[in-house]
Amino acid sequence: RRGRAPSSGSSATQSGAGGSNQVTTHHAANSQDSLSSPQVVAVSDLTDRGITTYQIAKSDYLFAYKKYTEEDSRIDSLRAWIQETVSIDHQVILCDPTKTISDWYTALKKQVGITNEMAKDRARDAYQEAIQPLRNNKDLIKWSVAWKKAVTRAQTKQVSESSTMGVWFRDFIRAVKPVMGSWAESYNIYHRKDDTLTFQEVGNDFRREVREMEANRALSKIAKGGFPSFGGTKVMGKRHVKTMRKIPILRNSGKAKGSKKSKTSHSGNSEGDKMPDVATTTKPRCPYCGQIHRLARCFYVFPELAPEDFKEREHIRAKVKEALLDRKLLKEVGFLRRQRRSN
């Protein structure tokens, strides 16, 4: 229900909407039985006191009229919003045109509103769904946004699971570990005892890591040096090695059969005659997974370098997890990450 337009209760009001220089004044009757009719007086005919009174009355009226028009506009906006968002059935039953907006709100809240406990339960359910362990590394940015919204809503509704840093941080690590194993482990070691950490900071760090991982993956699905190589040449297959071993080796034609040198030459065991064995060739081993590659190219420590079809092995992941407890190795991983970002 709309309010009434303001009216002036003073003894002098401006006449007309156009702001004419005439004032309508009211005079009391000389007797109790009759009242004199309003008399129009020009502003120029007013005394100084009358002009002051007129200006005050005009200012009060304009201020009240402005408030009235603003309120009327807000009521129109609210009415339009209700008509757009509330179903027709509820409008017919609960939004009587003869009732006020306040009556509409009360009726709608009573019919379709929820209690604080219901809102809290819904916030808890949304939070529990957001912290389910991730199954794949698709749409991680989208997931992080949904996770932040769920935590914000849960904290607003005072859901206990989201109120304590130790609890929501543990839930977050558990959710992202299946797809961000090494990062989750190192991040957990560095921050699990930081009581000042906020979920906004965690979300920002996670998105930064995801973007870096996606950028590196876009550059190369399999980076050079990810697997063992031999002197910059192609890796020899089993068939190639077998063929190479069949090539006859020139023997020493000397007749000193009894000499140790001659026996060694004919046996084919001299250093010059031996083929390098693929299995025994010395190559750098990763201190985390134990495989033959440099730490900077380990798919378990830097999952952003791994191809999409790469599958982790349980026993190697367990070994990497145990190695992450070594702070010296962990610092080396941090140094490599910073070095990659600077490049």
Q: Is residue 272 in some structural domain? A: no
- In a domain? residue 90: no
Beta strands in the chain (DSSP E): 12-14, 22-25, 39-42
Is 286 part of any domain?
yes
Sorting pLDDT into bands at 50, 70 and 90, what band is 145?
very high
- Global pTM reads 0.44
Highest mean pLDDT among 107-116, 144-153, 157-166, 247-256: 144-153
Pairwise CA distance, residues 70 & 62, whole Å: 12
**Same domain as 213, residue 153:** yes
Type of residue at 235: V
Coil, strand or helix: which one is 89? helix
Which range of 90-94, 116-120, 142-146, 249-253 scores highest in mean pLDDT? It is 142-146
What pLDDT digit, counting tens, does each position of 40-62 carry?
778 777 888 888 888 899 899 99
Does 200 lie in the same domain as 161?
Answer: yes
In a domain, 105, yes or no: no
For residues 286-298, give the mean pLDDT: 83
Answer whether residue 136 is part of any domain: yes
Out of 45-59, 227-241, 295-309, give the one with best mean pLDDT.
45-59
Identity of residue 253 = S
Angle made by CA atoms 168, 298, 226, in degrees to the nearest 5: 145
- pLDDT-derived band at 69 (thresholds 50, 70, 90) equals very high
Residue 214 forms part of a structural domain: yes
Number of domains in the chain: 3
Residues 137 and 211 both lie in one domain: yes
Q: Contacts for 54-59 with beta carbons within 8 Å, 24 or more apart?
A: 54/12, 54/13, 54/14, 54/23, 56/10, 57/8, 57/10, 57/11, 57/12, 57/13, 58/13, 58/14
Domain boundaries, position 63: 12-27+37-85
Residue 264's pLDDT is: 45
Integer CA distances (angstroms), 225 to 169, 232, 263, 311, in order: 35, 10, 41, 18
Are 21 and 77 members of one domain?
Answer: yes
19 domain-assigned: yes
